[in-house]
């Protein structure tokens, strides 16, 4: 589903350049549940944003569903994002002056779905995520976990093939984080590819494949079967966390 070949990305920093991704080769199959790890500043968000067509890359090739993703206009990128992908962010990114239902319905507004229909679908997704009673509440009346579930409902409403989540549990306490990860697992069980960024080992250990970034390159890929070893290796850290 996703193939990256020798992807490079730099940011202009005044007169100098910050070379963030230095030749990323990566394949992710349809239906995989993947986490991207690495220290702060290692390029995790940059990579996720390129995968989600929120940002361009400088060199290399990116294929998504067999399409070559290159030099797209913002209009074309927006259309592809609408059709194919859903996003979840650490800070939820809900619109503060819209209620839960309206936030969930928003992607359908951009698809031209009529208000009655999109609100009805939003209620279905809120129900699915156990938030039906909160439909008419504003984001500031909701807990972090509830806000993230609303953001997840919003990501799911346009029936994406892949969900990109950038530190989706980064602003949540441990038990709420695990609830969100359970939801991610269920989403993946329904056949949606899930790619999430995290710097928490226990969160990464819940996925099927861990991609470790270091100094702008892939340092290591740990697959499902090897996760027990990974858990063991970090059990000390987990115990003290
Ligand atoms: P991570 O998500 O792993 O913490 P990022 O991908 O956000 O890392 O950032 C990688 C590096 O690129 C960091 O040093 C960051 O400061 C820098 N960076 C990220 N976005 C920009 C930008 N828009 N302009 C300039 N530098 C950026
Ligand atoms: Mg980041």
Ligand 2: centre distance to CA 217 (Å): 15
CA–CA gap between residue 144 and residue 9 (Å, rounded): 33
The pLDDT of residue 230 is: 62
CA–CA gap between residue 70 and residue 17 (Å, rounded): 21
Specify whether the CB–CB gap between 211 and 36 falls below 8 A: yes
The pLDDT of residue 224 is: 73
DSSP 15: T
Give the list of residues 6+ apart from residue 18 with CB closer than 8 angstroms, or none.
10, 11
- Name the pTM for this structure: 0.92
The pLDDT of residue 154 is: 97
* Ligand 1 atom showing the smallest separation from residue 199 Cα: 3
> CA 47, 184, 52 angle in degrees (round to 5)?
25
Give the strand order in the sheet containing 162-166.
85-89, 162-166, 193-197, 33-37, 209-214, 217-223
The pLDDT of residue 71 is: 86
Specify whether the CB–CB gap between 230 and 222 falls below 8 A: yes
Regions in the chain scoring below 70 on pLDDT: 225-241
DSSP 206: T
Q: What residues are in contact with ligand 1 under a 6 Å CB criterion?
A: 11, 18, 20, 38, 40-46
DSSP 181: H
pLDDT in tens, 83-140: 999 999 999 999 999 999 999 999 999 889 999 999 999 999 999 999 999 999 999 9
Give the list of residues 6+ apart from residue 66 with CB closer than 8 angstroms, or none.
none
Distance (Å) of CA 203 to CA 35, 182, 189, 225, 227? 8, 10, 17, 16, 12
List, in order of start, the domains of the chain with CATH numbers: 32-45+73-239 (3.40.50.300)
Residue to substitute in 8, 14, 20, 170 for testing ligand 1 pocket (most ligand atoms within 8 angstroms of CB): 20
CA–CA gap between residue 27 and residue 44 (Å, rounded): 16
């Amino acid at each position: 589903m996703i193939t990256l070949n020798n992807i490079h990305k730099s940011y202009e920093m005044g007169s100098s350049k910050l070379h963030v991704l230095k030749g990323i080769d990566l394949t992710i199959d349809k239906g995989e549940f993947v986490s991207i790890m690495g220290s702060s500043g290692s390029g995790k968000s940059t990579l996720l944003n390129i995968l989600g067509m929120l940002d361009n890359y400088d060199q290399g090739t990116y294929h998504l569903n067999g399409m070559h993703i290159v030099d797209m206009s913002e209009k074309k990128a927006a259309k592809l994002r609408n059709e194919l992908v859903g996003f979840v962010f650490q800070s939820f990114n809900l619109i503060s002056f819209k209620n839960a239902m309206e936030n969930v319905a928003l992607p359908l507004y951009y698809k031209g779905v009529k208000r009655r229909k999109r609100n009805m679908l939003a209620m279905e997704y809120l129900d699915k995520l156990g938030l039906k009673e909160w439909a008419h509440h504003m984001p500031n009346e909701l807990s972090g976990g509830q806000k993230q579930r609303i953001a997840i409902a919003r990501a799911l409403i346009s029936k994406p093939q892949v969900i990109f989540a950038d530190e989706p549990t980064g602003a949540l306490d441990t038990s709420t984080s695990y609830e969100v990860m359970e939801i991610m697992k269920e989403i993946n069980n329904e056949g949606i590819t899930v790619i999430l960024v995290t710097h928490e080992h226990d969160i990464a250990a819940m996925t099927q494949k861990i991609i470790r970034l270091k100094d702008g390159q892939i340092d290591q890929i740990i697959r499902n079967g090897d996760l027990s070893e990974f858990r063991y290796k970090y059990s000390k850290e987990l115990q003290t966390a």
